[in-house]
């Protein structure tokens, strides 16, 4: 069996979970071809991601002539498929209400993808996120390419599902994956309850063998660690505000921020404004080994986001036996509660500060117990091999 994975940009530092999923499927004897619309625009820092880039076929990179040539050939050799695809393309563009040029690009990409996937003998195509990569997979299928499925994560995917034709993408798919119960409900709202049985929950996963419980002590030197793109929805500026409050009583508090992005200047300015440069460290993007080491010595993961799906970094921290501080949004409460960390309202500096103060006051045995409970949950629900096997079973049944 040979399947394909289509991504918008791949590999990316923030989507390690996709690489892990692909590798877990390959471990089960299934060949996986990697396709992406474009490479990531930022520098890769992890050697495994760099290796993935070398074996990924990019639909757009240096292929304008190829895209136009494939389109011309498809018009001549597959008029029926082109007619079907153009009807669907028209619906996508009409629903979007904008973006004629990007939608033309989707059609050109779909033609090349269809021809490439069929030549590669792909029996099924899977994509992560229900955005433009799912649109390209759907158009490819309408042209006569392989059937497809997609995994929806949120939160942006559910902001305006009418414009993104999310319901149509579900209807045309063989099946759709939600990463949480919350996500499945939103997919059903977009597509209609008649598609409920086509919607399945398969969580993102981690290789639990790579995340053995850390033996680092929960002592005064253990920092809070936050991992993710520096952006408004991750609330790192509020983290800085909260640290400034906590530092008045606990000058020893340390917070490490791993990641980079559009909010970096705002975060740096807030650190300077509050005079807490000794309390907050910005590390930028780091490779997987460094992230794992930093999480492994944390007092707790700190992720007070405004908008998420169900962050993989929470799974990583819990698997290492470290508690998590996160928010009551999307699928996060399905994994995090008071037994394995602290769950707080989004957008509240006071609640972020209070959770950190409780973590600082907690005895090591209590923190260790929270971490142990979190690891048990991750092993049960987010083992990448178990979840990849569940996805592969759905693919085999649908193909």
Q: How many percent of the chain have pLDDT more than 90?
A: 95
- Candidates 221, 281, 210; CA nearest to 48 is 210
Name the domain count of the chain: 2
* Same domain assignment for residues 17 and 103: yes
Residues 40 and 167 in one domain: yes
pLDDT attached to residue 166:
98
- Using CA atoms, how far apart are residues 117 and 180, in angstroms rounded to an integer? 30
Residues 247 and 266 in one domain: yes
- The DSSP string of 245-266 is HHHTT-TT--EEEEB-STTHHH
Q: Tens of pLDDT along 51-64?
A: 999 999 999 988 89
pLDDT tens per residue, range 298-355: 999 999 999 999 999 999 999 999 999 999 999 999 999 999 999 999 999 999 999 9
On whether the CB atoms of residues 261 and 197 are closer than 8 A, the answer is no
Q: Same structural domain for residues 42 and 164?
A: yes
Identify the pLDDT of residue 372: 98
> Looking at the structure, do residues 154 and 240 belong to the same domain, yes or no?
no
Determine the structural domain holding residue 12 and report its residue range: 2-205+383-398
Residues 135 and 267 in one domain: no
Read off the pTM. Answer: 0.91
Q: How far apart are CA 245 and CA 256, in angstroms?
A: 16
Structure tokens at 225: 């660690």
Q: Which of 156, 159, 158 is nearest to 170 (CA)?
A: 158
Whether residues 340 and 262 share a domain: the answer is: yes
> CA dihedral in degrees (34, 35, 40, 44; nearest 10)?
20
CB 63 within 8 A of CB 54: no
- Cα–Cα distance measured from residue 313 to residue 257, given in angstroms and rounded to the nearest whole number: 13
**79 contact partners, CB below 8 Å, separation of at least 6:** none
Q: Are residues 233 and 336 in the same domain?
A: yes
Res 14: pLDDT: 84
Interval 191-200: pLDDT, tens: 999 999 999 9
In 3D space, the residue among 375, 397, 393, 399 whose CA is nearest the CA of residue 24 turns out to be: 393
Distance (Å, whole) CA 50 – CA 177: 27
**13 — pLDDT class (breaks 50, 70, 90):** confident
Establish how many alpha carbons lie within 13 A of residue 197's alpha carbon, considering only the half-sphere containing its beta carbon. 2
Domain match, 37 and 100 both = yes
Can you tell me the distance from the alpha carbon of 183 to that of 248, in angstroms, rounded to the nearest whole number?
Answer: 40
CATH number, domain with residue 364: 3.40.50.2000
Residue 110 token pair: 């779909």
**pLDDT reported for residue 62:** 86
The answer on 48 and 172 residing in a single domain is yes
219 and 287 in a single domain? The answer is yes
Task: Supply the mean pLDDT for the chain.
Answer: 96
pLDDT score recorded for residue 317:
98
User: What is the distance between the alpha carbons of residues 289 and 285, in angstroms, rounded to a whole number?
Assistant: 12
Question: Could you give the C-alpha distances from 151 to 116, 187, 202, 379, in angstroms and in order?
Answer: 22, 10, 8, 21
Mind listing the pLDDT tens digit for each residue in 270-306? 999 999 999 999 999 999 999 999 999 999 999 999 9
Same domain as 237, residue 124: no
Give the model's pLDDT for residue 61. 86
pLDDT tier at 371 (50, 70, 90 boundaries)?
A: very high
pLDDT in tens, 217-249: 999 899 999 999 999 999 999 999 999 999 999
Question: 177 near 201, Cβ under 8 Å?
Answer: yes
Looking from the CA of 332 toward its CB, the CA atoms found within 13 Å total 26
Q: What angle do CA 87, 89, 91 make, to 5 degrees?
A: 75
311-317 long-range contacts, CB within 8 A, separation 24+: 311/228, 312/16, 312/17, 312/204, 312/206, 313/227, 313/228, 315/204, 315/205, 315/206, 315/378, 315/382, 316/206, 316/211, 316/227, 316/291, 316/292, 317/225, 317/374
């Amino acid at each position: 069996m040979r399947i394909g994975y289509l991504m918008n940009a791949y590999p990316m530092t923030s989507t390690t979970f996709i690489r892990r999923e692909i590798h877990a499927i390959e471990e089960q004897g299934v060949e996986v071809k990697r396709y992406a619309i474009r490479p990531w625009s930022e520098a890769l820092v992890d050697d495994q991601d760099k290796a993935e880039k070398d074996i990924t076929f990019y639909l757009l990179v240096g292929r304008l002539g190829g895209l136009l040539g494939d389109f011309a050939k498809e018009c001549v050799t597959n008029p029926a498929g082109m007619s079907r695809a153009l009807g669907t393309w028209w619906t996508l563009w009409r629903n979007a209400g904008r973006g004629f040029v990007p939608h033309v690009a989707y059609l050109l990409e779909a033609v090349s993808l269809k021809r490439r996937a069929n030549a590669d003998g792909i029996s099924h195509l899977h994509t992560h996120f229900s955005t433009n990569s799912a649109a390209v997979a759907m158009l490819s299928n309408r042209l006569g390419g392989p059937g497809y499925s997609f995994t929806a994560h949120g939160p942006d995917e559910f902001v305006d599902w009418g414009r993104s034709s999310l319901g149509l993408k579900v209807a045309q798919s063989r099946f759709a994956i939600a990463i949480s119960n919350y996500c499945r409900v939103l997919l059903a709202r977009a597509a209609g309850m008649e598609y409920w049985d086509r919607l399945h929950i398969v969580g993102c996963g981690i290789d639990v063998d790579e995340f053995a419980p850390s033996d680092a002590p929960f002592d005064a030197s253990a920092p809070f660690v936050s991992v993710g793109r520096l952006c408004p929805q991750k609330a790192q500026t509020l983290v800085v505000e909260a640290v400034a409050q906590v530092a008045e009583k606990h000058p020893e508090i340390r917070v490490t921020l791993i990641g980079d992005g559009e909010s970096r200047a705002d975060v740096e300015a807030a650190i300077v404004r509050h005079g807490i440069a000794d309390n907050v460290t910005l590390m930028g993007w780091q490779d997987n080994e460094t992230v794992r080491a930093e999480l492994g010595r944390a007092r707790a993961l700190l992720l007070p986001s405004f908008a998420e799906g169900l962050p993989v970094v929470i799974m990583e921290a819990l698997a290492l036996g470290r508690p998590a501080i996160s928010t009551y949004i999307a699928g996060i409460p399905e994994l995090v509660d008071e037994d394995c960390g602290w769950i707080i309202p989004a957008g509240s500096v006071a609640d972020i500060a209070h959770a950190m103060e409780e973590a600082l006051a907690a005895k090591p045995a209590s923190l260790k117990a929270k971490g142990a409970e979190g690891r048990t949950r991750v092993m049960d629900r987010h083992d990448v091999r178990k979840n990849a096997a569940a996805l592969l079973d759905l693919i085999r049944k649908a193909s």
